[in-house]
Structure 1
Amino acid sequence: MKVVKFGGSSLASGQQFEKVINILRQDQNRKVIVTSAPGKREETDTKVTDLLINYATLTIETKPTNIVTEQLFNRYLEIANHFGLEEDKLQTIKEKIENLQYEKFENNDYLMASFKAHGERLNAKLMALILNHLGIRARFLDPEKFGFYVSDSANNAQVLDETYANIEALNLTDELLIVPGFFGITKDHKIATFSRGGSDITGAILSKGFHASCYENFTDVDAIYAANPNTVKNPYAITKMTYRELRELSYAGFSVFHDEAIIPAIEANITINVKNTNHSELPGTLIVPEANFEPENLVTGVASSDRFAALYLHRYLLNKEVGFTLKLLEILYRYNVSYEHMPSGIDDLTIIFDKSQLTNFKIKQLCQDIKATLQPDEMQWINDYAIIMVVGEGMRDNIGVLDRVISPLAQNNIGIHMINQGASRISVMLGTRQADANLAIEHIYHNFFS
């Protein structure tokens, strides 16, 4: 039995819906379908989720909403028309769109969460209607009805353990179960959304709950690549990789999954298959457990992200001062700031941060507090910072990999600010200037794959 998730680009139009339905017909093991909201039909188009955010904003500001509600319904109507489904069959979808603005919410966070979630919710209903119209037995599965429970956090929900028992209690028959992604229901019946990778998380949770043999994730790329195609021309397509390779690469910017999105599937040791809706005949990329994995290459992938910043501290005899790091961590705790890495020397310490949790004001206050408390001889905030991850299960048992990572950078005058090799020995992390990151990726990639 397979759980199958389709992304927004896969469900953006009637033509894309048709491809999805053909994919479902090709394999009877595809029993549970997770829908995203309709995405862009072309580059200048607007995603349904963005239309819903606009709708929510207009509702909060008590401004007219008739134009956006019409735009929203027309997106679903256009898909239905492609299959000859009469407009009156979409009456409940139309009414739900129009009446959302009149519902009562605890606060604006829950209002926004509920509006956004309806992109997936209504698309799942539409999918079930179309499949039954075509003679394919399908049932819309409402998260509230079967108990897809999440924590009480409007836009940062976490699945509750009892949800898995509720999923296990569902009976699988010859009909397809159509489940909306991205959201769940709190114990007091409010809609709450996942923060990142929403529909991917739903698919992973359902895969674990149903004990699926495979979790298929259909998107708009043929495979996961060894490097970003925007950085490296025609990069190697990865046929198989491990969970931890994907997690390491996702940390540095691999965009197929957010690194936390597939944890439920990882916990259940379920194979994940990333495939392309537009080229479903291609094998895609398999993501598998580490046990008995045989790597095809020394390095599996190279990725970078510029979402980082660093604070450099220098103080003579720093290594002799008891409690220096404790004082630093106490300051970070007061500001509710986590750090990513802390490489150090005998007189130096660098703290690397994810910039998404920081504002300019918080950075200023944090630096002032650290300077006053720790009195470093030198302190520098480095905003121009990128992290590069070189990852591969094949690196673990081979000597000289680090030299092959670093030597092409030295040959091309690319400076390295930090080096860290993970304890698992399947990854090397480098810190560079943001302007050097893409060039570094190219040289490292070609040193291993050319």
Structure 2
Amino acid sequence: YGSLPNHKIKIMSRGGSDITGALAAAALDAKIYENWTDVSGILMADPRIVDTPKAIRRMTYAELRELSFLGASVLHEESILPIKLKHIPLQIRNTNEPDQPGTLIEEKFENEDDGNADDRFITGIAGRTGFYVITIYKEQILVNTSIVRKTLEIFDDFNVQIEHINLGLDSFMLTVSSTQIRDRLYDVIGKIQSECNPDTLDIEENIAMIACVGRRMRYRPGISGKLFSALGKNGINIRIITQGTNEISIIVGVESKSYNDTVRVIYDSFVG
């Protein structure tokens, strides 16, 4: 807990000790922030889906953000910014197994830009189920992008966060969490149809998004092909494909019923 400026006592949310430790480390300009918890670092995949997944020995803050965005989290996300701004390394350690190295997180690691690092080039896999995918069709969207701008403004008016956006020649696709839009779906769609006048509009629900993250993927040709081939061989139909502009993540969307199988196939294909 802590004291607010008006002297009222405020109880921190779950993970408050993570934030407190990060703020203290930043205030002291610490050389490293060790966060002791009940797990031996961050795992490469959800242990509820993958049997005994390997631990991530080191990763960058950018990778942590990518994985956390889709649900992989060991500590409170608000604890990252204070130490990241001060370029302070974070090490997650296990109180019950203090000899385990845990996971070291830094801004970047030296001698990796050439892609010759010894570590695995896939850092981790994370995902979530329960997304809606809204596809809006309008001829020559790339010539007249006002429909995209208006659509984004409508989502903002309804306080609905867009998770992903894919833009094509005559269509664009928006991915949103069902918890964000479920109660406002028809209001949002109605306003899009009345103000943007799309040619057609499709809605698909029960979509899962899975991210394959790794800072070294940019140096390895054929990663996307290997991923798509592995999923295809296992009968998993990819509905959405997104690659981050920083080239450290590939995100695929599949039917929610295929979520667990997708995570296992990706893990077995790249980590085994």
When the two structures are superposed, what TM-score results if normalisation uses the length of structure 1? Answer: 0.56
Matched, 1:299 2:117: no
The Cα shift of 1:446 comes to: 0.9
Partner amino acid for 1:434?
A: S
Give, in whole Å, the separation in 2 of the partners of 1:448 and 1:368: 43
Partner amino acid for 1:433?
A: E
Q: Which residue of the other structure, out of 276, 282, 288, is the alignment partner of 2:100?
A: 282
- What residue in structure 2 maps to residue 156 of structure 1? none
Give the SS at the match of 2:30. coil
The Cα shift of 1:338 comes to: 2.8
The Cα shift of 1:350 comes to: 0.9
Pairing of 1:227-238 with structure 2 (within 5 A): 227-238=45-56
CA RMSD of aligned residues (A): 2.0
Matched, 1:217 2:35: yes
- What residue in structure 1 maps to residue 217 of structure 2? 395
Point out the structure with the larger strand share.
Answer: 2
1:242–1:293 contact (8 Å) kept in structure 2 = no
Matched, 1:342 2:165: yes
Matched, 1:351 2:174: yes
Give 4+ residue runs of structure 1 displaced > 4 Å after superposition.
193-196
The Cα shift of 1:355 comes to: 3.6
- What residue in structure 1 maps to residue 247 of structure 2? 425
Partner amino acid for 1:298?
A: F
The Cα shift of 1:191 comes to: 3.2
Query: 1 or 2 for the larger relative contact order (CA 8 Å, sep ≥6)?
Result: 2
Give, in whole Å, the separation in 1 of the partners of 2:236 and 2:216: 25
The Cα shift of 1:248 comes to: 0.9
Give, in whole Å, the separation in 1 of the partners of 2:109 and 2:189: 45
Residues 280, 415 of structure 1: alpha-carbon distance in 2 compared, 3 angstrom cutoff: same
Aligned residues: 267
Pairing of 1:314-325 with structure 2 (within 5 A): 314-325=137-148
The Cα shift of 1:393 comes to: 1.5
For each residue in 1:307-350, what CA deviation from the matched residue of structure 2 results, as whole angstroms up to 9, or x when unmatched?
53221212334334351112212212322223122102122211
The Cα shift of 1:254 comes to: 0.6
The Cα shift of 1:241 comes to: 1.4
Give, in whole Å, the separation in 1 of the partners of 2:75 and 2:204: 28
- What residue in structure 2 maps to residue 185 of structure 1? 3
Residues 350, 358 of structure 1: alpha-carbon distance in 2 compared, 3 angstrom cutoff: same
Partner amino acid for 2:22?
A: A
Give the SS at the match of 2:142. helix
Point out the structure with the larger helix share.
Answer: 1
Give the SS at the match of 2:175. strand
1:250–1:258 contact (8 Å) kept in structure 2 = no
Matched, 1:444 2:262: no
Matched, 1:266 2:84: yes
1:250–1:257 contact (8 Å) kept in structure 2 = no
- What residue in structure 2 maps to residue 372 of structure 1? 194
Pairing of 1:149-168 with structure 2 (within 5 A): none
- What residue in structure 1 maps to residue 133 of structure 2? 310
Partner amino acid for 1:229?
A: P
For each residue in 1:381-413, what CA deviation from the matched residue of structure 2 results, as whole angstroms up to 9, or x when unmatched?
323122111111121212111112211011112
Residues 322, 252 of structure 1: alpha-carbon distance in 2 compared, 3 angstrom cutoff: closer
Partner amino acid for 1:248?
A: E
Give, in whole Å, the separation in 2 of the partners of 1:253 and 1:411: 26
For each residue in 1:178-233, what CA deviation from the matched residue of structure 2 results, as whole angstroms up to 9, or x when unmatched?
xxxxx443322223455664322221111111112221212221231111111111
Q: Which residue of the other structure, out of 17, 25, 42, is the alignment partner of 1:207?
A: 25
Give, in whole Å, the separation in 2 of the partners of 1:247 and 1:348: 29
Larger Rg: 1
Residues 266, 402 of structure 1: alpha-carbon distance in 2 compared, 3 angstrom cutoff: same
Partner amino acid for 2:104?
A: L
Pairing of 1:95-114 with structure 2 (within 5 A): none
- What residue in structure 2 maps to residue 248 of structure 1? 66
Pairing of 1:21-36 with structure 2 (within 5 A): none
Partner amino acid for 2:267?
A: Y
For each residue in 1:272-302, what CA deviation from the matched residue of structure 2 results, as whole angstroms up to 9, or x when unmatched?
1111121122111111221416451110111
1:221–1:276 contact (8 Å) kept in structure 2 = yes
Give the SS at the match of 1:381. strand
Residues 321, 389 of structure 1: alpha-carbon distance in 2 compared, 3 angstrom cutoff: same
Residues 196, 419 of structure 1: alpha-carbon distance in 2 compared, 3 angstrom cutoff: farther
1:409–1:415 contact (8 Å) kept in structure 2 = yes
Give, in whole Å, the separation in 2 of the partners of 1:267 and 1:405: 34
Give, in whole Å, the separation in 2 of the partners of 1:448 and 1:199: 35
* Identical columns (%): 35
- What residue in structure 2 maps to residue 124 of structure 1? none
- What residue in structure 2 maps to residue 119 of structure 1? none
Give, in whole Å, the separation in 1 of the partners of 2:2 and 2:227: 43
2:135–2:171 contact (8 Å) kept in structure 1 = yes
